[in-house]
Amino acid sequence: MMLSEEKVTHLTHVLLKGLIDRDIIEFHDEEGKIRREIKRIIIGELKIGEDIDLAVRKKLQSFSKKLFEGSPEWEILYKKFFKEEEVRRGRASA
C-alpha cells in the first residue's frame, strides 16, 4: 500500500469531517461504520492503483528496446498504458 495505515486512518477522519461539515451526509451512531467503509474504499483504490502500476511496468519491461525509467519516452508510455489499463478495468472513461 502506498500510504501507511495511520495516513489512511487520518484521511478517513478528514473525509468524514468534510462530508459532515458540508451537510452531505447525516448519521446517527454510525460514525465508526462509515469510517470503516471509507477506509475500505481507499485501501481498495490504492490496491487497484498498485496492480495497474505493476501491470504497466511489466508491459514496459517486455519491450525489446530497453526503456529507462524516468526517461521522456518511458514517462509518455507509462502514462498512456496506465490510462489504458484504468479504462480497461472500468476505473476511468476513455
Q: Is the pLDDT of residue 78 over 90?
A: yes
- Could you tell me the residue ranges of all domains in the chain? 5-88
Q: Is this model's pTM higher than 0.75 or not?
A: yes
- How far is the CA of 60 from the CAs of 46, 74, 76, 82, 92, in angstroms? 21, 8, 11, 11, 21
* Neighbour tally for 12: CB within 10 Å: 20
Long-range contacts of 66-74 (CB under 8 A, 24+ apart): none
Output DSSP code: residue 70. T
Question: In a 10 Å sphere around its CB, with 0-12 CB exposed, 13-18 middle and 19+ buried, how is residue 56 labelled?
Answer: buried
Q: pLDDT digits over 61-73, tens only?
A: 999 999 999 999 9
**1 falls in which pLDDT band (50, 70, 90)?**
low
